[in-house]
Amino acid sequence: MNTVRPTNAGLGFKATLLQGTNELVCLVFGFSPATINITWYDGPKESLDYNTSEPHRGQNGKFSIQSYLRLSQGNWLRGKVITCRVMHVNTTLSLNISKPGTSSSTDPSSYTLKISCQVATYFIH
Say which CATH number the domain at 55 has.
2.60.40.10
Read off the pLDDT of each residue in 88-113 and give the average, rounded to a whole number: 66
| Count of domains observed in the chain | 1
- Identity of the highest mean pLDDT range in 51-65, 80-94, 101-115: 51-65
pTM score of the predicted model: 0.75
- pLDDT tens for each residue of 14-67: 999 998 888 999 999 999 999 999 999 988 899 888 999 999 999 999 999 999
The whole-number pLDDT of residue 26 equals 95
Flag whether 63 is in a domain.
Answer: yes
- Burial class, 42, CB count within 10 angstroms (exposed 0-12 / middle 13-18 / buried 19+): buried
* Angstrom distance (rounded) from CA 6 to CA 79: 21
The residue ranking higher by pLDDT, 82 or 75, is: 82
Q: Do residues 15 and 28 touch, judged by C-beta distance below 8 A? A: yes
The whole-number pLDDT of residue 19 equals 85
Position 38, amino acid: I
Question: Which residues span the domain enclosing 66?
Answer: 14-99
Flag whether 125 is in a domain.
Answer: no
